[in-house]
Amino acid sequence: MYKFLQFILRCYFRIAYNIKIEGKENIPAETTAIYTPNHRSNADPPLVGSFISGKLSFMAKEELFKNKFFGRLISALGAFPVSRGKGDMGVIDTSVERLETGNLMIFPEGGRSKDGKVHKGHTGAALVAARSGRLIVPVGVCYGEKLKFRTKVTIKFGTPIDPTEYVESSEEPNPRQLVKLKNRYMADIKELVEGGQLSLEAAEQPLLEQKEDGADE
């Protein structure tokens, strides 16, 4: 069912928009991963997901499941509900479980960008990555002011990030290390979307480099 829906969506998006995919070689072939796109529109989950091989799960606000038909549809596409702004830690456990059998998509900005720029991110993806040990693949969804028929859309998959290079413990991840990991994938997303060089402040050094720099402290 999922593969069929994915195929239909991929065909639809190819017709509706002028799609270009960059960095497909960065999609891990032998393991599941966490994909972290910037968030522009409600079309982002199926748009990005239809071009990722294998099953994909993603978080959706619980209000979307109130309509039974629509709730069943997005559930079939891999969505699971999350209570935004309530500190729902159960969603972290669900995310880790989903990664056992498929990929996961998390929008680290937490909401849609109205100006097309990449805004401040959250550490949810970093926590899931630390707990699961799965790679984070930053994703840039690039187009003009808004989506319309035959808009040129470029989906860019960035270089995978290994969370173990930033976070020491998977059981009790250090909050500061999670922030460093978050800063890294947000800097990568920003580079994919807006171009330019990575910010040295945002792209924190990996944990191993930090240890080497601080070895004599």
Q: Alpha-carbon distance 207 to 217, whole Å?
A: 15
Question: Taking the C-alpha atoms of 146, 188, 7 and 132 in order, what is their torsion angle to the nearest 10 degrees?
Answer: -130
As beta bridge partners, residue 154 has: 20, 142
As beta bridge partners, residue 18 has: 152
Q: Alpha-carbon distance 134 to 104, whole Å?
A: 10
**Helix/strand/coil percentages in the chain, nearest 5:** 40, 15, 45
CB-facing half-sphere around the CA of 83: CA atoms within 13 A = 5
Range of the domain at 10: 2-213
How many CB atoms neighbour CB 159 within 10 A? 13
Q: What are phi and psi of 122, to 5 degrees?
A: -115, 170
> What totals of helices (H) and strands (E) does the chain contain, helices first?
7, 7
Question: Taking the C-alpha atoms of 179, 23, 47 and 84 in order, what is their torsion angle to the nearest 10 degrees?
Answer: -10
**Does this model's pTM top 0.85?**
yes
Count structural domains, the chain. Answer: 1
Give, for all 217 residues of the chain, the pLDDT tens digit: 888 989 999 999 999 999 999 999 999 988 999 999 999 998 999 999 999 988 999 988 888 899 989 888 889 889 998 876 655 678 999 999 999 999 999 999 988 998 989 999 999 999 999 999 999 999 999 998 889 999 999 999 999 999 999 999 999 999 999 999 999 999 999 999 998 544 444 445 555 454 444 443 3
Residue with tokens 């100006």: 115
CATH of the domain at 180: 3.40.1130
